[in-house]
Amino acid sequence: MTTARLARAAALLVAAATLLPGRPAPPSLEADLRRAAAALGPRHVLRTRHRHPDGSPRYVNRLVREASPYLLQHAHNPVDWYAWGPEAFARAAAERKPVFLSIGYSTCHWCHVMEEESFEDETIAAYLNANYVAIKVDREVRPDLDALYMTAVQAMGVSGGWPLNVWLTPDARPFYGGTYFPPRDGDRPGRIGFLPLLKKLRAVYDAEPARVADAAADVVQRVTASLTPAPSDTRPGTSALSLGYRLATRDFDEDGAGFGRAPKFPRPDQLAFLLRYHRRTGEAHARDMVVRTLDAMARGGIRDHLGGGFHRYSTDAAWRVPHFEKMLYDNALLAMVYLEAAQATGRRDLGLVAREILDYLARDMTAADGTFYAATDADSDGEEGRYFTWTADEITAAVGPEAARIAIAYYAVEPSPTLDGRSVLSTPQPLSDTAATLGLSPEATAAGLEAARAGLVRARGMRTPPHTDRKIIAAWNGLAISAFARAGAAFDDAGYTARAVRAADRILETFRRGDRLAHHALGGCVEGSAFLDDYAFLEGACLDLFEATGRPRWLEEALTLQRTLDAHFADEVHGGYFATPDDGEVLLAREKPTDDGAMPSGNAVALENLLRLGSLTTDDAYDARADRLLIALGKTLMQRPLAAPRLLTGLERRLDVTKEIVIVTQGDRDQAAPLLARLGAAHVPNRVLAVVAIGAPQQTLGALVPLVTDKVAIDGLATAYVCEHRVCRLPVTDADAFAGALAKIAPLP
């Protein structure tokens, strides 16, 4: 919409605000809405079918004054939405109405579907406005609310997912919930309709208040027990690792690779655990499950073969048809596990997949200041996956008949009945097989494919791209910084390391408020109090940057973040860390996260950070905190370890002998390149690394890392010291000897 049309829209917003069906807006909103509308600017996208003849929106609600992209998507629904806050609950209490809470995020496909079907429906909106107080929450802005009410819905026996829809009492206690609902009975077979459900639950709320109160009390009790688990008696041992391996073997899909059945998720933290289990036990099947899964994903449609990166998950068991949104955290975690698999197997092609992911993030998901955007949508031009899918005719038009013949064969272009006859690109066979099938030489086939790919990239670039959520989330950026820092060190790629440094510099500069952090930023506005994940993931990123650069500054940053975690998030009674700070908003329960979801739990990453800090600083207090964390969350590891594979990986590290590696140089870090190349190619996950030049840098770092003190560069050569329990082997300057020391593994008992 043009600026002029937006101005006209702004002028109409106040009048439109009084027309919300079933709930006229109070006059006190007028000035606020007028200011909010004027401030929206030309980049605001009107996602509504309810418009005046000139294109301006017919409806507006309170979400127009919010910054969240997800909330703004709903700002022109006919629903009288509130953002989360005391105003909504005060009205619910005053009017004795239940609260309808809907949680989602801006790139969520099924959130868009429910918006179009139900929240844009004037009849449904009128009933909702007259009988409920409706609240919208962006789960990426308030992960604490999402975790709380997701746990509540799961306690009701419903599988989680988004949109997450929960019915609450006016004191925020949940009494019913679910995920996506079609608008009316019969719209989707087997699913209750949203409008009939609204009516039924309001009738129960009015007629049977005691039943509602009892249901809410029961859910709150179960949520509290789930979010704050009772500690175990002792720290878990190797039996938890063995149980995790056995359960993974049982769940492995021998036909399609990966775990479970459709829909199938990548599970990078589980794959990393299996790589480390193989390293400690020699169990070939542990590594085989990882390699087969990574290969299947790399060949499948879940991978974007033109633009790089991976989609959210596969809707089928063979990784062919994805759910097309792309998340920053998925791609950061997958880049790290592909990198680790390349180190564990020596396979260069797995490392190339990691590089492709990072190059995609650098090209398409990086803000002007070097930080990383949150996600891209599944939908464009009103269809899921339209941007990413093809027909044979489209390919031929884009690249010509000869190159198209190769591309169509190699990318297995076949009409899919689930995608309106369009095809998701995948590579089920090697290029050599395609050459043989087409009767071409391998060289001609490779050249033809390269030309076809370039043409397809150009043609796709002319399509309407999916929406990009430009939120900068501290925790998610921490994962991306770790991925770039680890790849920079492993590949000796200064460009990757520089990207990691730039993003970390910017986050720490703009998100810091004294000793505290903010959670996210949008359009230059930094907002929200940081959560456990924000501190833990950024701390891990700083430790990765310390290893990648050798600069003490990054270890100091990690220590600072750890002090804040200990001061405001630690459970000093039972151990572990809460998701929210001690001075945060008081909710029904204060979560102590154990399970991994799409991302690892903050406690799992905090455990790794503590163990790394203990090895670097030689301060036993960090190991003691790590052990208390494992005891606090130990029941999960002993009873259902695959619910928390990243925590399981942390336990494996605690039960290993950490390699404390010091490399001393006469000059700059480049002198250590031959040694670092061997380290980058080796699978040594349970290690810490300090690279330091003799003289003043060594003295400075020695105050933080005592192991570097008094180490010498033999004959002026870069010299490696491999230590265990602070006792060092004889120093070596030869890369082969260094590699031999790295290869020594302490097997699991």
Same domain, 94 and 40: yes
**What would the 3-class secondary structure string for 484-500 be?**
HHHHHHHHCCHHHHHHH
Q: Would you say residue 453 has pLDDT above 70?
A: yes
Segments in 116-237 forming alpha helices (H)? 122-131, 143-155, 194-207, 209-227
Whether the CB-CB separation of 500 and 544 falls below 8 Å is answered with yes
Q: Would you say residue 6 has pLDDT above 50?
A: no
Q: Give the pLDDT confidence score for residue 187 in this predicted structure.
A: 83
Q: Would you say residue 18 has pLDDT above 60?
A: no
Tens digit of pLDDT for each residue in 98-124?
999 999 999 999 999 999 999 999 999
Same domain, 290 and 425: yes
- Written as six digits, the tokens of 85 are 């806050």
Radius of gyration (C-alpha) of the chain in whole angstroms: 27
- CA–CA dist 210, 73 (Å, integer): 37
Q: Which of 661, 642, 595, 659 is nearest to 277 (CA)?
A: 642
- CA–CA dist 387, 378 (Å, integer): 9
- Of 181, 198, 227, the residue at which a domain comes to its end is 227
Same domain, 214 and 258: no
Whether the CB-CB separation of 514 and 409 falls below 8 Å is answered with no
φ, ψ dihedrals at 157, nearest 5°: 90, 15
Range of the domain at 347: 238-469
Tens digit of pLDDT for each residue in 618-640?
999 999 999 999 999 999 999 99
- Written as six digits, the tokens of 431 are 């290029």
- CA–CA dist 19, 319 (Å, integer): 47
pLDDT bracket for residue 3 (50, 70, 90):
very low
Tens digit of pLDDT for each residue in 362-385?
999 999 999 999 999 998 888 899
Task: Look at residue 665 and tell me if it is in a domain.
Answer: yes
Task: Look at residue 118 and tell me if it is in a domain.
Answer: yes
N-terminal to C-terminal alpha carbon distance within the chain: 66
Tens digit of pLDDT for each residue in 234-257?
999 999 999 999 999 999 999 999
Tens digit of pLDDT for each residue in 511-561?
999 999 999 998 889 999 999 999 999 999 999 999 999 999 999 999 999
Same domain, 246 and 223: no
- Written as six digits, the tokens of 284 are 């070939």
- Of 174, 199, 227, the residue at which a domain comes to its end is 227
Same domain, 446 and 352: yes
Same domain, 267 and 393: yes
Same domain, 67 and 191: yes
- CA–CA dist 396, 408 (Å, integer): 9
Same domain, 196 and 290: no
- CA–CA dist 447, 162 (Å, integer): 43
Beta bridge partners of 521: 472, 526
Q: Which of 332, 675, 355 is nearest to 495 (CA)?
A: 355
Task: Look at residue 553 and tell me if it is in a domain.
Answer: no
Segments in 529-601 forming alpha helices (H)? 532-549, 552-568
Q: Would you say residue 4 has pLDDT above 50?
A: no
Task: Look at residue 506 and tell me if it is in a domain.
Answer: no
pLDDT bracket for residue 305 (50, 70, 90):
very high
Q: Can you tell me whether residue 63 is helix, strand or coil?
A: helix
Task: Look at residue 686 and tell me if it is in a domain.
Answer: yes
- Written as six digits, the tokens of 644 are 């928390």
| Residue 583: other Cβ atoms inside 10 A | 9
Q: Can you tell me whether residue 663 is helix, strand or coil?
A: strand
pLDDT bracket for residue 318 (50, 70, 90):
very high
Q: Average the pLDDT over each of 18-22, 370-374, 629-633, 712-716 and give the range with the smallest value.
A: 18-22
- CA–CA dist 678, 718 (Å, integer): 13
Whether the CB-CB separation of 63 and 72 falls below 8 Å is answered with yes
Q: Which of 303, 407, 300, 412 is nearest to 354 (CA)?
A: 303
Q: Can you tell me whether residue 170 is helix, strand or coil?
A: coil
Whether the CB-CB separation of 449 and 470 falls below 8 Å is answered with no
Would you say how long the chain is, in residues?
A: 749
Same domain, 146 and 249: no
221 Cβ neighbours under 8 A, 6+ residues apart: none
Task: Look at residue 477 and tell me if it is in a domain.
Answer: no
Tell me what percent of the chain is helix, strand and coil, each rounded to the nearest 5: 50, 10, 35
Q: Which of 70, 62, 50 is nearest to 124 (CA)?
A: 50
Same domain, 318 and 385: yes
Task: Look at residue 8 and tell me if it is in a domain.
Answer: yes
Whether the CB-CB separation of 466 and 460 falls below 8 Å is answered with no
Same domain, 125 and 261: no
Domain with residue 703: its CATH number is 3.40.30
- CA–CA dist 167, 216 (Å, integer): 10
The tally of domains found in the chain comes to 3
- Of 469, 487, 516, the residue at which a domain comes to its end is 469
* CA distance to 377, 471, 521, per residue, from 107 (Å): 4, 11, 17
Task: Look at residue 635 and tell me if it is in a domain.
Answer: no
Same domain, 202 and 292: no
